[in-house]
Structure 1
């Protein structure tokens, strides 16, 4: 079982132009204030980032940043929506908005850059 699966994440969409990953905040994902743990929110954003950045290249994160705007609570459906900001030959930067629900308010904003290399062609 992968880390994302263990946390209960579900991939809703996975394309090079937009990737969406969802997670319902579990009771085990709360911090000492009773709100969603920052690590849980980061993990959701990072999963969407990993999926979108590896669509057409082998990608490894070189830098990430997450800003928290609002608290999330147990039972909240969070949806991470990843989109490309700039995709170059060797570097690419993606924006991931973590929203409450499909079209709800932004809970956190993640920006990440990856180092890219072309995927090896399959023999065949």
Structure 2
């Protein structure tokens, strides 16, 4: 099995049970070994009192892309620590895109960066996630 096939199968297994990302209206646009691109359209119910996208939704988008990236190796991985820096507002009606990529994976610990951009390619947020591999895998692999 190639690393790309492993990433796709892992993502399909996770996506089947990911009610939160689906409820928000996210789509998984691409997945690969240590990487994932997800997006969603900012709708009226995502806007806060300043009429901009609530930061929690931007964080959730970045966190979901991070989750699929760090689970792409067919090993269960969970968030150990995350942080986000908001750079510009998400606007109603625009599509936000989160691109996650693996910076480091050593033993059971991973580091992932996620860039969230707006419709005009401006940076909306930068997210860094630290992952921890736990017991389990998304599907049984034939290692023969």
One fold, TM greater than 0.5? yes
Q: 2:96 aligns with which of 71, 78, 86?
A: 78
Q: Report deviation, 1:97.
A: 0.2
**What SS is found at the alignment partner of 2:52?**
coil
CA-CA distance at 1:118 after TM superposition: 6.5
Aligned residues: 123
Note the C-alpha offset of 1:89: 1.3
Equivalence map 1:25-36=2 (5 Å):
25-36=42-53
Q: Is this contact kept in 2: 1:66–1:108, CA < 8 A?
A: yes
Partner of 2:14: none
Does 2:123 correspond to 1:115?
no
Query: TM-score, length-normalised on structure 1?
Result: 0.91
In 2, are the aligned partners of 1:91 and 1:115 still within 8 Å (CA)?
yes
What is the correspondence of 1:1-124 to structure 2 with a 5 Å cutoff? 2-56=19-73, 57-101=75-119, 104-117=121-134, 119-120=136-137, 122=140
TM-score scaled by length of structure 2: 0.79
Which has the larger share of strand? Answer: 1
Change (3 A) 1:107 1:35: same
1:11 and 1:54 mapped to 2: Cα distance?
A: 14
Shifted more, 16-25 versus 30-39: the winner is 16-25
For structure 2, which runs of at least 5 residues remain unmatched after alignment? 1-17
Q: Structure 1 stretches of 5 or more lacking a match?
A: none
SS of 1:104's equivalent in the other structure is coil
RMSD value, Cα: 1.9
SS of equivalent residue, structure 2 residue 76: strand
